Amino acid sequence: MRLAAVEVGLLLEVVWVSLVAGVAVTVLFSLVVLFGSRSAEAGRGGRSSAAMAYAALALLSFAAFALVVGYGVNVMLAKG
């Protein structure tokens, strides 16, 4: 359906994709902060194995965050 030279289907697609991407990026970065703080807390408590596990989870979360952001930038800069 076309309304005033705007493709309504494409507009709705932009809305839902931006909502999903915004939630995904927020959740991933929240996990980075959560696991990073738990790692530091476990390290101060003398639980080095738990600290290493939380640090690994923080790094994995950050890698996923960086991939999602990088993909988003790539999509925005791609000529379509």
Structure-block tokens of residue 27 = 């959740």
Residue 79 confidence (pLDDT): 75
pLDDT of residue 10: 85
Residue 1 is predicted with a pLDDT of: 61
Residue 23: alpha-carbon gap to chain centroid: 8
Structural domain including 35 reads 2-77
CA distance 51 to 57: 10
In terms of pLDDT, which residue wins out, 10 or 23? 23
In this predicted structure, what is the pLDDT of residue 5?
74
Interval 32-78: pLDDT, tens: 999 999 999 999 999 999 999 999 999 999 999 999 999 999 988 99
Has residue 23 got a pLDDT over 80? yes
Structural domain tally of the chain?
1
